[in-house]
Amino acid sequence: MTHGSTDRPQGPRRPTAADGVVVVDKPAGWTSHDVVARMRRLASTRKVGHAGTLDPMATGVLVLGIGRATRLLTYIVGADKEYTATIRLGVVTTTDDAEGETLATVDASGVTRAQVEAGAGALTGAIQQVPSAVSAIKVDGQRAYARVRAGEDVELAARPVMVSRFDVHDVRPGRTQEGSPVLDVDVTVVVSSGTYVRALARDLGAALGVGGHLTALRRTRVGGYGLDVARSLDDLGALPVDAPIDVVSLADSARATFPVRDLTADEARALSYGQAIDVLDGAPRDTVAGIDPSGRLVALLEERGGRIRPALVFAPA
């Protein structure tokens, strides 16, 4: 289902948006690419990218970079992510979510809340996860889901992920349309980049002996960006056409993602020329954002060879 042709701009072209980040609350049924295509029109620039794909079924936080902010997306993609989800125990599907075809149904009425919580606990922490066969992971140069659609059996290797939270909320008995007893479980998970929530649903169901899949998924946070700063595409599209859309500035985007080093004017000038500056005692050793006295993002900084060096320069020399 694509949405690229539904709202071509009428009349004057909107002014080009400033470089920065826009956080969209992705609607159900849209691909992440659909949202990028829509934002290219809203921002009047082709230079738009996203930080982390959401499946069409999923809703919630999709971080978009515009202009030079697309260079920050590599770092934002690696941030941890929070989701609310509903897992249906008792039904196995081809895709580990509600989009797929049913493979098996098992009576889940005997599963207790205590067992669900124990199963979620076993999937918390550093785990090895086998991604869903219909994921976008490449196998010999081709997306896994494309190989599955072509009729191949695809087995992906397990890989390390971190599930820092797997909280069980409401647990509700229900039935499939055919009358098989199921259990619907509302959860909140916080996971590292590259973790598949539908694989958690699958593995929880497998551990409980009844199978499981994901029926709802909403991403509530990516790194420092939550639903509190997300806007709907309808709201963005309703803005006056003679004004550029608002963005989170480069500096504020960097502040939401990295520790900050406040630079002197001389340090900012040196970094803008690609030169190194001194290490500060007690400063973070990870990538930091260098902000000049006027509040402008100068560069992302890393320590190498006992000096602080620019990893990515944003301010022109």
For residues 96 and 213, the answer to whether their CB atoms sit within 8 Å is yes
Euclidean distance between CA atoms 125 and 193, whole angstroms: 14
Measured from the Cβ of residue 162, the count of other Cβ atoms closer than 10 Å reads 16
Cα torsion angle, 272, 308, 71, 220, sign = negative
For residues 205 and 87, the answer to whether their CB atoms sit within 8 Å is yes
How would you classify the pairing of strands 288-291 and 260-262? parallel
Residue-wise burial string across 199-223, b where 16 or more C-beta atoms lie within 10 A, e elsewhere: bbbbbbbebbebbbbbbbbbbbbbb
Is 55 among the residues known to form the active site? yes
Length of the chain measured in residues? 317
Distance, first Cα to last Cα, the chain: 45
For residues 79 and 224, the answer to whether their CB atoms sit within 8 Å is yes
Among residues 19, 55, 203, 292, the one annotated as catalytic is 55
How would you classify the pairing of strands 59-66 and 212-222? parallel
For residues 50 and 63, the answer to whether their CB atoms sit within 8 Å is yes
The catalytic residue positions are 55
